[in-house]
Amino acid sequence: MKEDKTQIFNSAADFYDDAFTFSNIGVLQRNRVYFFLEQFGFFKEKKKVFEINCGTGFDAEEFYRKGHQVIATDGSSKMIELCKQLRSKEIEFYQLSFQEIDKAEKLAKSDFLFSNFGGLNCLDKHDLSLMVNTVASKQKRGDQLAWVIIPKHCLWESVYLFVKGRWSQIGRRNTNKALSVEVDWEKVPTYYHSPKEIESILEKNYNVLQIKPIAFFLPPSYLEPFFSKNKWFLHFLNNFEKLFGNWSLLANWSDHYIILAEKK
């Protein structure tokens, strides 16, 4: 694998929750992730969760509160420091980069692998394939995973760029090269992966159970300044998300999508 980029998020750690986790858009997008985990039956029985790219540990805390045993990792040392300060002492947090996933012995003792909101978009298709092979060698038959990934197309983004007159950037996600995406004033190399690409990477070792859109009608988080002043509009869009956001075909054009799979 290439050089680990996750330390870039050290400078974003102090601002991440305010910028996304607790933002109006961030809360609604996360609710959609939890909705599909509920649909998947994730919360029906206690699980041993192993999380990668845990950020500030918000999801880890939520899973723990619902009775799950949680081990959460992130490549950013600063993120892990914050997790240990902010979250339950019963959750095990430790620093782990993508390059070190082969050393994650406790992954083999878990039964659910989770990654939220584009953490895996730090990897290109080749490195993501290598990581999946490593993960698959550690998971047992019947173990599950749920990953939330940024696709190569986003209808909201295309409309936004068109309105702004930035026509040359429309469809900018549709590339196999890294784009430099700003995360709290830091430029993060980001690779976009379509649902079909992730499904093809997983299919050798996993049965893909569901692929669902996360925020087809809901806007991307960088539009928070506008929607924080127009909450009625965001509420309207959220109702559409609830009514029509279950269609798997929309995953290709949403801000994120969730893929749920089970080890063969």
List the structure tokens of 12: 């974003």
Three-class DSSP category at 213:
strand
Q: Give the 3-state secondary structure of 45-100.
A: CCCEEEECCCCCCHHHHHHHHCCCEEEEEECCHHHHHHHHHHCCCCCEEEECCHHH
- Position 98 scores a pLDDT of 86
- Specify the pLDDT at position 86: 92
Low-confidence ranges of the chain (pLDDT < 50): 3
Check: CB of residue 69 under 8 Å from CB of residue 239. Answer: no
What is the model's pLDDT at position 21?
77
CATH of 6-151+193-263, one of 3.30.70.100, 3.40.50.1000, 3.30.70.1400, 3.40.50.150: 3.40.50.150
Euclidean distance between CA atoms 4 and 108, whole angstroms: 23
Per-residue confidence (pLDDT) for residue 39, from 0 to 100: 92
Give dist(CA 264, CA 262) in Å, integer: 6
pLDDT of residue 20: 76
* Structure-token pair, residue 51: 């999380």
The pLDDT, as a whole number, for residue 262 is: 97
pLDDT at 256: 98
Query: How high is the pLDDT of residue 237?
Result: 98
